A and B are shown apart, each in its own frame.
Chain A
Amino acid sequence: MSSRIEPITGRYVHLEIEGRPYRIYFEEAGSGIPLLCLHTAGAHSSQYRHLMCDSAVTDRFRVIAFDLPWHGKSNPPEGWQDEEYKLTSSFYVAAVEAFSEALDLDRPVVMGCSMGGRVVVRLALEKGAALRGVIGLEGSDHPSPWYDNSWLESPEFLRGDFCAALVSGLVAPQSPDEFRWETLWHYYQGGPEVFKGDMHFYRTDSDYARDSSTIDTGACPVFLMTGEYDYSCTPENTIETAKRIPGAEAIIMKEMGHFPMSENPAAFREQLLPVLARIAGKD
């Protein structure tokens, strides 16, 4: 009788992305300003479970996270068995837009991590007027690969335990073991070569550096929050990006790695709450 039940609810929505139907899983908690959260490559929306159980966030924000097609509990499209999954920049933007429309979200704040922290730059560029702001976690406006492209041809990308080991060093040494390994478990769970398919977007199809200076941060504030231990999107990558976007703010988080919301939720909320308060206060 004393079991703890979290306030998170999970449901499915049917929508179209680039003309194809998808069954998309999403979770949410709270009410107020929509805060749409985008998971990292090869992972799923559970990365945001701590925020959804934090009343300091959910009192003022409706926190929503969906699994991209092929990820978590969202299906790949019908016919997937004869296709190679490759995430493109245009598909990613269309997916966020389709989901936002399907749930009728009114000027959401979009917060994404890693590849999600990359795509928010394009969202701010092209859809900024329809957004209340973007938060790029471990985000930058252009790719900065840290391993050779030939590695992507390795059969290891079929294996979740390899994907986990590839990213394991991106978790800060200070992050609690429980959450380090939960964060890595999301990578163990990924479908074969889904992480690799996301790398198409992250490594080759997401260079927004040429245009990012045209973002209107008056209409759509841009916050870039990066952990000092992140060697995938380095603090330098983030600071350079913030310098290119007039009005963007870079926050470098001490003792934090590449997965702030899931690797060290207690430390992350201390950094995030002031940012959310500023976005909410602007309204």
Chain B
Amino acid sequence: MFDCLTDAVASRPHLRHIGRYMRSAFLLEVGDTPYHVTVENGAVSAVEVGPFKMRSWDFAIRAPREVWETFWSDAPPPGYQDLFAMTRYGHARLEGNTAPLLHNLRYVKELLALPRTLRQEAGK
């Protein structure tokens, strides 16, 4: 799942460059499993797996495991191709302070897609 983010971003200088102004911690929830992601100047410095006790975060994106898996498929069906498609149709929820997300929107969207990107690269 999201354990891959640290190494995947480290090996992508351009992605790190896109996120170079981001300093934030956010929560990605896959079913019951929360991943706490810390970004410092475009590097993913930590991905920790919960449960957590009152851990702080700026924003959270929550979706059932099946939804994430559909999102990570090669050609996601309509409604699953993007974070905002998934929130529009109620497949995923976005909560908290959206300012750091909006300020780094392309970067975060590319982070979310990395599990798909990595699988596609491995298959080539």
A168's contact among B76, B98, B109, by CB below 8 Å, is which? B109
CA distance A146 to B94 in the complex (A): 13
Quick check: B82 and A169 within 8 Å, CB to CB? Answer: yes
Q: Type the 1/0 row for B66-85, where 1 means its CB is closer than 8 Å to any CB of A.
A: 00000000111011011111
* Chain A residues, CB < 8 A from B109: 165, 168-169
Stretch at the interface among B40-48, B57-65, B100-108: B100-108
Given contacts A165-B106, A169-B81, A169-B82, contact A154 B99 (CB under 8 A): yes
150-174 of chain A: CB within 8 A of chain B:
151, 154, 156, 161-162, 164-166, 168-170, 172-174
Q: How far is the CB of A120 from chain B (nearest CB, A)?
A: 23
* A223 CB–B CB distance under 8 Å: no
Quick check: B102 and A146 within 8 Å, CB to CB? Answer: no
Given contacts A231-B79, A231-B89, contact A169 B84 (CB under 8 A): yes
Residues of chain B at interface, number, CB under 8 A: 20
* Chain A residues, CB < 8 A from B105: 156, 162, 165-166
* B23 CB–A CB distance under 8 Å: no
Given contacts A146-B88, A168-B109, contact A228 B78 (CB under 8 A): yes
* A22 CB–B CB distance under 8 Å: no
- Closest B-chain residue to A227, C-beta based? B78
CA distance A162 to B74 in the complex (A): 25
The main secondary structure of chain B at its interface with chain A is helix
Quick check: B98 and A229 within 8 Å, CB to CB? Answer: no
CA distance A69 to B119 in the complex (A): 45
* A147 CB–B CB distance under 8 Å: yes
Quick check: B106 and A169 within 8 Å, CB to CB? Answer: no
A156's contact among B75, B89, B103, by CB below 8 Å, is which? B103
* Chain A residues, CB < 8 A from B83: 169
Given contacts A162-B105, A166-B105, contact A229 B81 (CB under 8 A): yes
Seen from chain B, the residues whose Cβ lies within 8 Å of a Cβ on chain A are: 74-76, 78-79, 81-85, 87-89, 98-99, 102-103, 105-106, 109
Seen from chain A, the residues whose Cβ lies within 8 Å of a Cβ on chain B are: 146-147, 151, 154, 156, 161-162, 164-166, 168-170, 172-174, 228-229, 231, 234-235
The 21 listed contacts between A and B (C-beta, < 8 Å) are A146-B84, A146-B88, A151-B98, A151-B102, A156-B102, A161-B106, A165-B106, A166-B105, A168-B82, A168-B106, A169-B82, A169-B84, A169-B109, A170-B82, A173-B74, A174-B75, A229-B78, A229-B81, A231-B79, A231-B82, A234-B88
